[in-house]
Amino acid sequence: MKAPKILPWIARKAGISDELALKLWRRAVSEAEHITGKTEGSEYWGLTVERFLSIVENEVGGTPQYALTPAPQLSWMWHHQTRMSLLSLAAAENAYRFWQTSWETVYPQKKAA
């Protein structure tokens, strides 16, 4: 399995090496596979990214306190993106239901006897 291309960026933002980020990614992949029982699908990949960001934040939290700048928390970005995508899906579903209800009102179906 290839690591995502954003891995080095996350490693730099968190202040860890690329090698450590790759190890943490592999750990997140194995945990997500164990939890979901799958190796594909949106549930699997979503959990993998969520676990990875959580593991990175825990790893950075264990570093000494004398660092010049604290590492940013990255999981908020993932949660925000997930919420935004779910909102657009909910809006599309509501529009479809409105269209379906309007259509049924205009052209009611006759029930068979």
pLDDT digits (tens, 9 = 90+) for 62-112: 544 444 455 566 677 777 788 788 888 888 999 999 999 999 888 887 766
Mean pLDDT of the chain, nearest integer:
81
Is residue 87 included in any domain, yes or no? yes
pLDDT of residue 65: 45
Quote the number of domains for the chain: 1
> Which CA distances in Å does 93 have to 12, 41, 88, 89, 99?
39, 21, 9, 6, 10
* Average pLDDT rounded to a whole number, residues 24-41: 88
pLDDT of residue 64: 43
41 vs 30: CA distance, rounded Å: 15
Is residue 100 included in any domain, yes or no? yes
pLDDT of residue 109: 78
Q: What is the pLDDT of residues 3-15, one digit of tens each?
A: 888 888 888 888 8
53 vs 32: CA distance, rounded Å: 13
Query: What residue numbers bound the domain in which 42 lies?
Result: 7-64+71-104
* Average pLDDT rounded to a whole number, residues 18-40: 90
- State pTM to two decimals: 0.55
Between residues 40 and 78, which one has the greater pLDDT? 40
Is residue 113 included in any domain, yes or no? no
Is residue 95 included in any domain, yes or no? yes
pLDDT of residue 67: 45
pLDDT of residue 98: 94
